[in-house]
Amino acid sequence: MDLRNIAIIAHVDHGKTTLVDELLKQSGAFRDNQAVAERAMDSNDLERERGITILAKATSVEWKGTRINIVDTPGHADFGGEVERILSMVDGVVLLVDAAEGPMPQTKFVTSKALALGLRPIVVLNKVDKPDAEPDRALDEVFDLFTTLDANDDQLDFPHLYASGRAGWADADLDGPRKDLHALFDLVVNHVPAPRQIARQSDDFRMLATTLGSDPFVGRLLTGRVESGTLKVGATVQALSRIGQKIEQFRVTKIRAFRGLAQQDIEEAQAGDIVSLAGMSKATVADTICALAVDQALDAQPIDPPTITVTFGINDSPLAGRDGKKVQSRVIRDRLMKEAESNVAIKITDTPGGEAFEVAGRGELQMGVLIENMRREGFELSISRPQVLFREENGTTMEPVEEVTIDVDDEYSGAVIEKLTGTRKGEMVDMRQQGGKTRIVAHVPSRGLIGYHGEFLTDTRGTGVLNRVFHEWAPHKGPIPGRRAGVLISMEDGEAVAYALWNLEERGRMFIGPQEKVYQGMIIGEHSRDNDLEVNPLKGKKLTNVRASGSDEAVRLTPHINFSLEEAIAYIDDDELVEVTPNVIRLRKRFLDPHERKRQARAAQ
């Protein structure tokens, strides 16, 4: 059977996963009466809740005698490590662009990776049925983007289709019949080359592992594309590292291929097919699985380096161990090492003392997803404020700078520009106004963007859209001021009392409600001034046997602020931590004892 391997790449929210749903339906991958969830490829709970794709996933459809393996990739830059690896196992990409928004920062990121590998994209202008869609403008912008990214003549001569993934149609003409996706299937079969065998002269089996998964019954599963030769179940193969060192020799216990949404066991893997293998104990992502006679590893895509680091520590608060089952540093370390094995975009380092671990990654969203997964698995953690990684070049300290693209209503553009180019040391690169909206493009140090997203939503009344992607390493731009307000710190252990919180409202905004457990050193609110203040949230009303009219009415509290995980991590200062348990997120000082805090503050001066 003929084979085609393609990846669907696009900016976040441009409709990749929805389009894959329709491709599966129209190719007959589902039975007519089969119940299928919307966005079937987003199988992970967090992906469904957030409406984003976090992990790349493969599926396959059959069309007129050709099997098409399709990989759905994440759109966020934080998960760019997934995209980079996936592109090395496909022969073509379908680039999806929203006809209203045009190419966005992540479009630029994934397209540059695809063009660098020599892939010839098929451009699909999606959502052309939106009222504000401008497909012709979007198409011109895609061409300009390809030119900017130094595409060759073959790549610039890209075929394009107009489509609506949700409505399930794609046509070569904007005024076409708008019935189905047959035009896209045909274009993939005709435009994307069949898998090329790298080693034609040698039929020895070779495969580059691109993703690592696990199955409760068969154990670890490595997925990749078979580059040459064939492989049968039961064969003995070896795993080579990137530099060609032998890691292990093992017997292949299972071979699975993608058929529709499911994986099926097959007896033999052919060159060009995307399959998963079981049987290895040490081999991991970017290793070459090959026949025993092979001594050279396949080239693996270099991964962009991490830009931020967060410290994961044990939870040592007075309320530790009441909520989660996994609290020991050894268990936390094992879980982080397992994550680093399958996610090549993060690096784990032990800290002196062994109670905490430095986790370096691409961005706050990637860290937030890892922490959220761990708390759902029953872990208790204390998390530090994200720190940006610097590097030295010729005696100059370099820091990561990100390209930020913002779409806001015209009335809010002034406040956004002032924040980005003022205190956060950003440089404005482009600004365009169209139909009451302003698009701002700026280059901002990663340090300046930590904790900015919540502020941005407040400044734009929740209507702004902010996208960011790594741009370059640039010389250090000097100090960037942190949070201006101080915090209210509990001086007692116990349960918060409504009357005490009501009295404290004039001091600032509360983060807790009545009857919540508090402890000494826990942050319970934001001070209205710039210094920290120790307060007593347990102080009840003194009761007497004289009742006064009007003074005994029910206490009415202003609703307190409920932080999400990412908001809490972005809010804290360097001397503070976020306590994360399966059910609760608390903010606390790193040192709970007030005398110890003063000692540390003096030592830091």
Question: Looking at residue 80, what is its pLDDT?
Answer: 54
- Give the mean pLDDT of 89-110: 82
**pLDDT over threshold 50, residue 55:** no
**pLDDT over threshold 50, residue 44:** no
300 or 319, higher pLDDT: 319
**pLDDT over threshold 90, residue 228:** no
**pLDDT over threshold 70, residue 532:** yes
**pLDDT over threshold 80, residue 345:** no
- Give the mean pLDDT of 4-19: 75
Task: Categorize the per-residue pLDDT at 249 as very low, low, confident or very high, splitting at 50, 70 and 90.
Answer: very high
Considering the chain, what percentage of its residues have pLDDT values greater than 90?
9
Task: Categorize the per-residue pLDDT at 57 as very low, low, confident or very high, splitting at 50, 70 and 90.
Answer: low
Would you call 456 helix, strand, or coil by DSSP? helix
Which tokens go with 565? 């995980």
Crossing angle of the two packed helices 80-87 and 105-116, in degrees rounded to 10: 30
**pLDDT over threshold 60, residue 20:** yes
**pLDDT over threshold 80, residue 469:** no
Task: Categorize the per-residue pLDDT at 382 as very low, low, confident or very high, splitting at 50, 70 and 90.
Answer: very high
Average pLDDT of the chain is 81
| Cβ count near 153 (within 10 Å) | 6
Contacts of 111 (CB under 8 A, 6+ apart): 9, 95, 103, 121, 145, 146, 149
Question: Looking at residue 577, what is its pLDDT?
Answer: 92
Task: Categorize the per-residue pLDDT at 116 as very low, low, confident or very high, splitting at 50, 70 and 90.
Answer: confident
Question: Looking at residue 519, what is its pLDDT?
Answer: 92
Query: Contact at 8 Å (CB) between 542 and 521?
Result: no
- Give the mean pLDDT of 528-534: 88
Question: Looking at residue 16, what is its pLDDT?
Answer: 65
For the ranges 40-44, 262-266, 457-461, 575-579, the lowest mean pLDDT is seen at 40-44
| Cβ count near 154 (within 10 Å) | 9
Residue type, 137: R
Would you call 219 helix, strand, or coil by DSSP? strand
* ∠ Cα 5 278 44 (to 5°): 65
Measured CA distances, 563 to 13, 258, 566 (Å): 24, 40, 8
Question: Looking at residue 587, what is its pLDDT?
Answer: 92
| 587-605 per-position pLDDT tens digit | 999 899 989 988 888 887 7
**pLDDT over threshold 50, residue 53:** no
Measured CA distances, 498 to 369, 510, 519 (Å): 34, 11, 16
Question: Looking at residue 578, what is its pLDDT?
Answer: 92
For the ranges 83-87, 229-233, 380-384, 509-513, the lowest mean pLDDT is seen at 83-87
- Give the mean pLDDT of 34-57: 43
Task: Categorize the per-residue pLDDT at 204 as very low, low, confident or very high, splitting at 50, 70 and 90.
Answer: confident
- Give the mean pLDDT of 105-113: 77
pTM over 0.85: no
Question: Looking at residue 143, what is its pLDDT?
Answer: 92
Task: Categorize the per-residue pLDDT at 140 as very low, low, confident or very high, splitting at 50, 70 and 90.
Answer: very high
Question: Looking at residue 35, what is its pLDDT?
Answer: 40
Measured CA distances, 477 to 424, 441, 443, 473, 481 (Å): 10, 19, 12, 11, 12
Measured distance CA(377)–CA(244) in Å, rounded:
36
Would you call 397 helix, strand, or coil by DSSP? strand
| 476-524 per-position pLDDT tens digit | 888 887 777 889 999 989 998 888 888 888 888 899 988 889 999 999 9
**pLDDT over threshold 90, residue 457:** no
**pLDDT over threshold 70, residue 264:** yes
Give the helix/strand (H/E) hosting 599.
Answer: helix 594-604
| Cβ count near 272 (within 10 Å) | 20
Contacts of 288 (CB under 8 A, 6+ apart): 206, 207, 208, 209, 239, 240, 294, 297, 298
Task: Categorize the per-residue pLDDT at 201 as very low, low, confident or very high, splitting at 50, 70 and 90.
Answer: very low
Query: Contact at 8 Å (CB) between 89 and 5?
Result: yes
Measured distance CA(436)–CA(419) in Å, rounded:
21
**pLDDT over threshold 70, residue 548:** no
* ∠ Cα 387 391 393 (to 5°): 160
Task: Categorize the per-residue pLDDT at 82 as very low, low, confident or very high, splitting at 50, 70 and 90.
Answer: low
- Give the mean pLDDT of 34-60: 47
Residue ranges and CATH numbers for the domains of the chain are: 2-191 (3.40.50.300), 206-290 (2.40.30.10), 391-475 (3.30.70.240), 487-562 (2.40.50.250)
* ∠ Cα 268 274 275 (to 5°): 50
Residue type, 379: F
Beta bridge partners of 240: 246, 288
Measured distance CA(426)–CA(477) in Å, rounded:
9
Which tokens go with 224? 């990749």
Measured distance CA(159)–CA(174) in Å, rounded:
14
Which tokens go with 175? 């005024």
**pLDDT over threshold 70, residue 293:** yes
Task: Categorize the per-residue pLDDT at 151 as very low, low, confident or very high, splitting at 50, 70 and 90.
Answer: confident
